[in-house]
Structures are given as C-alpha cells and as structure tokens.
C-alpha cells in the first residue's frame, strides 16, 4: 500500500488553516487573546489528536461575561 506523503501534508495544512479560523472565532468568545488561541490551535494540528483535545477543551470553556456598554 502506497502512502502519498504530499497528500498527507496538504491535509494537515488545510486542517491547520481550518482550525485556525475556528480557534479565532471561539477565542473571541471565550478568551482574552483570540490570536494566540488561533495560532496555538493551528500549530497543534501537527498532531491531530492534540488539536481535537484542544478544540474540545475550548468548546467546553465558559464564555466571557459580556461587557456592559452604557
């Protein structure tokens, strides 16, 4: 069975980009530093299991309280 390493690399890069966008949008709601959350989630895509665990933890984290604008 042949494994095309280029295809695996492309899948990891596409998953990293997708996780970066997801991490940024979740990070805006749940953390004070959404850019750092997006970058760390995208980098963690090198090991997919770590990225999925990171995403599950981020989803289960409570939202930040809404600021009152008067």
Question: Has residue 48 got a pLDDT over 90?
Answer: no
Q: Which two tokens stand for residue 68?
A: 């009152």
Burial class (CB in 10 A: 0-12, 13-18, 19+), 38: buried
Q: The whole model's pTM is what? A: 0.80
pLDDT, tens digit (0-9, with 9 covering 90-100), for 17-47: 999 999 999 999 999 999 999 999 999 998 8
Helix%, strand%, coil% for the chain, nearest 5: 75, 0, 25
């Amino acid at each position: 069975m042949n494994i095309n390493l280029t295809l695996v690399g492309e899948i990891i890069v596409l998953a990293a980009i997708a996780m970066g966008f997801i991490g940024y949008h979740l990070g805006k709601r749940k953390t004070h530093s959404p850019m750092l959350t997006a970058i760390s989630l995208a980098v963690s895509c090198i090991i997919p299991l770590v990225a999925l665990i990171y995403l599950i933890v981020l989803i289960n984290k409570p939202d930040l309280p809404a600021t009152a604008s008067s």
